[in-house]
Amino acid sequence: VGRLAFTSRLSNIELFDFYKQEMPRFGWEEVTSVRSTVSVLTYRRMDRVAMMQIKSGTIYGSYIELTVSPKGASVGYSPGGQSGYSGGSSTITTQPLR
């Protein structure tokens, strides 16, 4: 399970088009996509699902949140710093950024 949030100088339209074109080149199959104020792209590859949310930045550029997780797994966060992953026998431990 992984989550990445970042900003870009590209517009949300440019980023949407970029990921829609490039993700299949890396073996990701599109599940669904919605181009809107907050655009959403969802892909799958083997036993993983990737979801991107792209929205316009405050002044310029874009803000992107990318989450990749096991397909069909229930993954969550609890305030105690433990994340449970029901797709296997392991537990993922997280720590807040300081």
Please indicate, yes or no, whether the overall pTM of this predicted structure exceeds 0.75.
Answer: no
The vertex-4 CA angle with 85 and 67, nearest 5°, equals 45
**21: helix, coil or strand?**
helix
Q: What sign for the dihedral angle of Cα 71, 50, 42, 46?
A: negative
Average pLDDT on 55-77 reads 84
Residue-wise pLDDT for 6-17, tens only, equals 999 999 999 999
Residue-wise pLDDT for 18-53, tens only, equals 999 999 999 999 999 999 999 999 999 999 999 999
Residue 54 pLDDT > 50, yes or no?
yes
The pLDDT value recorded for residue 14 is 94
52, with CB counted inside 10 A (0-12, 13-18, 19+), is buried
Confidence of residue 57 (pLDDT cuts 50, 70, 90): confident
